[in-house]
Structure 1
Amino acid sequence: MLPSITRPALPLAAATALVGGLLTLAVPDRAGAAVPDTVPLKITNNSGRSGPVYVYDLGTQLSSGQQGWADENGAFHAWPAGGNPPTPAPDAAITGPAAGQSKTIRIPKFSGRVYFSYGQKLDFRLTTGGLVQPAVQNPSDPNRNILFNWSEYTLNDSGLWLNSTQVDMFSAPYAVGVQRSDGSVSSTGHLKSGGYTGFFDALRGQPGGWSGLIQTRSDGTVLRALSPLYGVETGALPANVMDDYVNRVWQKYATATLTVTPFGDRPDTKYYGRVSGNVMNFTDSSGAVVTSFQKPDADSVFGCHKLLDAPNDQVRGPISRTLCAGFNRSTLLVDPNQPDTSAANFYQDPVTNQYARAIHARTADGKAYAFAFDDVGNQESLVHDGSPQQAYLTLDPLS
């Protein structure tokens, strides 16, 4: 059972590191910031589903670097030592609100996730390296037949970052929000009316194997759709699903230049890409080659990794994340200047990330984390405030 890794709930410059299956998020703390040790999280159950809801607040305590969980009062509990094979984790479940009700818990200064599950508790395990996240792309994962989802957050002395994410899967819908010091509330993640079932209908109607991403229970209950990354890795989606588009991009930029301006606040920092010998080389303004990319496959595109690896540096990483967004949104052929932040151009090619396309088309504000670098061009479903008064997690209808 492998850990599941998703995009962090943080701005572009945040540094990330994998610790026991969770992305920890290195955001500079602002000295003297008046962010309390815990913040209230109001969970509202608008799902319309009867039966219990279970909530988990799991992550890395930023003050100590320890992994663990928080109870509903925000108190931290470190995980005990795990084993090999993995051993059951302590029961960290918080009883969530019944249908039509709300419940407020407190979340501490964590980099982590808030999970919620319907009907039964999740099965968490501990290895010698830490917590093992649910990985439902694995048919033998004990959580495979449970309807669940999670949000990601970081709370530190600089404030709160809280997002909704579909990087790993699209499942039980929810929205996130934050109340600011002036009383105003910012929220994101809600689907349009009919958006949940509409998303699955869109995948079923999309030729090319996209319906293979949908996972159902033996009784026919739809549980989720895997991300296309996991679809390719498990064989549910053809491995050549992006080849035609990638080939056309490589052909175009053998005779044209792709200009990447990766930093919105540094418009003079530009890199220039040309394909030579099946490799796209990027040069800086002096003409020196600064990094190169081999032609990516679908796995690299959907995961923004492998041949599109994005290290936390100031050159390759920013160029790679821009390429990744362009491939997933299929904007590289219509605009030689990237990133293209005009949503009207997104997902217009017949060969594109149809999963991300279907999600963004059904969110109320058009925002989502449908792939790892969906924050390029500020398309992500993220709320942030430097002085959060309260956070919100709203469980929405499965309709």
Structure 2
Amino acid sequence: MLAKVTTRLVGAAALIGALLTLGPPAGTAEAAVPDTIPLTITNNSGRGDALYVYNLGTQLSTGRQGWADANGTFHAWPAGGNPPTPAPDAAITGPAAGRSATIRIPKFSGRIYFSYGQKIVFKLTTGGLVQPAVQNPTDPNRNILFNWSEYTLNDAGIWLNSTQVDMFSAPYSVGVQRGDGSTISAGKLKSGGYSGFFNTLRAQSGGWGNLIQTRPDGTVLRALSPLYGVETGALSGNVLDDYINRVWQKYATTTLTVTPFADQPAIKYYGRVSGGVMNFTNSSGAVVTSFQKPDAGSIFGCHRLLDAPNDAVRGPISRTLCAGFNRSTLLVNPNQPDTSSANFYRDAVTNHYARAVHAQMADGKAYAFAFDDVGAHESLVHDGSPRQAYLTLDPLS
């Protein structure tokens, strides 16, 4: 199972503490993975403005945070300050529209940012790097068109994704050339998928169009995730209440069966609501964990009342609940996770942001919320002996 793949951003001074690793720990590969591999960036955006690329994260061999230059050489961040101080300029000049360029990426767990027209403003505080937090209207990156991919390259190979967990913005897809020479890719939008996504949000009643951010001149920049919509007041905190109440009512008289591990079907947990709390028991009838009725923020963020610690019981159950709430499958299937997309987002009360993201993907797969990998619906490529990685910037149309 893939770990949660985004570091949660909270306010303008959010930090990269330690970006979570996408995949197993180093040292589990059958064949050695080079210290760096090539990443080919292809600019199919059709945009004429300058492109800037950044490779930021944690050096896995030392645990130090920093950035990598175009040759894959690691540079540790200097000490920051309070208030935050400007970070060194880590920008790599990207290829012009219609062209490609190849850089080297090292054994990192981090993010590959890219921006159009302007460099991203990064600062350092005493705890590390301050990431862009465009849900904050005063963030210096608020009017910059940018996005990022997340990756881990370690001794066991590469995990590279496209993500919309925090926002939907400048489109791109990712790919890997495997050790056998074949190529796999993920994150490609359908033709017209970029504008199709925003049109879907605008047409959805209930304030979902308020997630869209524009420049003062009206240029569309991004749509915030519904978590940030709730946190900033752009989306009502009651937006999922009707569905949440129906779920709690149903499982007061019906058992919710969770089988969290696809490769261990004998491990099952049984949920029932009693006294307003959903208690889960194991096969012996012992209560193993309990959940208060969640709110929209907990569901969209897969945290707080749906916290998912990295353990063997509560975390896997919480992941399953989070996916079921976001995909609105809990009322139609008492056996979770529901891994077939046939039932996803069919209730009138659902995560319409995630629905719109998946609907516009060429293969239907995306990271529209943190645990979209439940049932393997995520936009992720992986190989244990990668020859090369790819980042393709697509048209904003």
* Alignment partner of 1:245 out of 243, 246, 254: 243
2:11 matched residue in structure 1: none
In structure 2, relative to structure 1, the CA distance for the partners of 1:17 and 1:349 (3 Å cut) is: closer
* Alignment partner of 1:279 out of 270, 277, 280: 277
- For residue 105 of structure 1, what is the amino acid of its counterpart? I
Q: Tell me the distance in 1 between the aligned counterparts of 2:16 and 2:348.
A: 38
Matched ranges for 1:122-271 at <5 A: 122-271=120-269
- For residue 243 of structure 2, what is the amino acid of its counterpart? Y
- For residue 376 of structure 1, what is the amino acid of its counterpart? V
| Residue 23 (str. 1) matches residue 15 (str. 2) | no
Q: Structure 1 residue 13: deviation in Å?
A: 6.0
Percent identical pairs in the alignment equals 81
Paired residues in the alignment total: 389
Tell me the alpha carbon deviations over residues 235-258 of structure 1, each in whole angstroms, 9 at most, x when there is no partner. Answer: 000000000000000000000000
Q: Secondary structure at the match of 2:324?
A: helix
The gaps in structure 2 that reach 5 residues or longer are 9-14
Q: Structure 1 residue 14: deviation in Å?
A: 8.1
Q: Secondary structure at the match of 2:20?
A: strand
Q: Structure 1 residue 20: deviation in Å?
A: 3.1
* Alignment partner of 2:2 out of 6, 12, 18: 12
Q: Structure 1 residue 183: deviation in Å?
A: 1.2
2:94 matched residue in structure 1: 96
- For residue 275 of structure 2, what is the amino acid of its counterpart? G
Q: Structure 1 residue 53: deviation in Å?
A: 0.2
Instruction: Provide the alpha-carbon RMSD of the alignment.
Output: 1.4
- For residue 332 of structure 1, what is the amino acid of its counterpart? L
In structure 2, relative to structure 1, the CA distance for the partners of 1:243 and 1:255 (3 Å cut) is: same
* Alignment partner of 1:396 out of 381, 394, 397: 394
Q: Quick check: 2:165–2:368 contact (8 Å CA) kept in 1?
A: yes
In structure 2, relative to structure 1, the CA distance for the partners of 1:257 and 1:233 (3 Å cut) is: same
Q: Tell me the distance in 1 between the aligned counterparts of 2:281 and 2:313.
A: 10
Q: Tell me the distance in 2 between the aligned counterparts of 1:235 and 1:317.
A: 28
* Alignment partner of 2:117 out of 116, 119, 128: 119
Q: Structure 1 residue 373: deviation in Å?
A: 0.2
1:83 matched residue in structure 2: 81
Q: Tell me the distance in 1 between the aligned counterparts of 2:25 and 2:240.
A: 38
2:12 matched residue in structure 1: none
Q: Quick check: 2:175–2:183 contact (8 Å CA) kept in 1?
A: yes
2:33 matched residue in structure 1: 35
| Residue 383 (str. 1) matches residue 381 (str. 2) | yes
| Residue 67 (str. 1) matches residue 57 (str. 2) | no
Q: Secondary structure at the match of 1:317?
A: helix
Q: Tell me the distance in 2 between the aligned counterparts of 1:354 and 1:17.
A: 22
Q: Tell me the distance in 2 between the aligned counterparts of 1:345 and 1:157.
A: 38
Q: Return the TM-score normalized by structure 1.
A: 0.96
* Alignment partner of 1:318 out of 305, 316, 333: 316
Tell me the alpha carbon deviations over residues 135-172 of structure 1, each in whole angstroms, 9 at most, x when there is no partner. Answer: 00000100000000000000000000000000000000
Q: Quick check: 2:4–2:370 contact (8 Å CA) kept in 1?
A: no
Q: Tell me the distance in 1 between the aligned counterparts of 2:275 and 2:385.
A: 52
Q: Tell me the distance in 2 between the aligned counterparts of 1:364 and 1:97.
A: 25
Q: Tell me the distance in 2 between the aligned counterparts of 1:394 and 1:177.
A: 8
Q: Tell me the distance in 2 between the aligned counterparts of 1:371 and 1:184.
A: 29
Matched ranges for 1:271-350 at <5 A: 271-350=269-348
Q: Tell me the distance in 1 between the aligned counterparts of 2:366 and 2:197.
A: 13
In structure 2, relative to structure 1, the CA distance for the partners of 1:217 and 1:22 (3 Å cut) is: farther
Q: Structure 1 residue 182: deviation in Å?
A: 1.6
Q: Tell me the distance in 2 between the aligned counterparts of 1:316 and 1:31.
A: 29
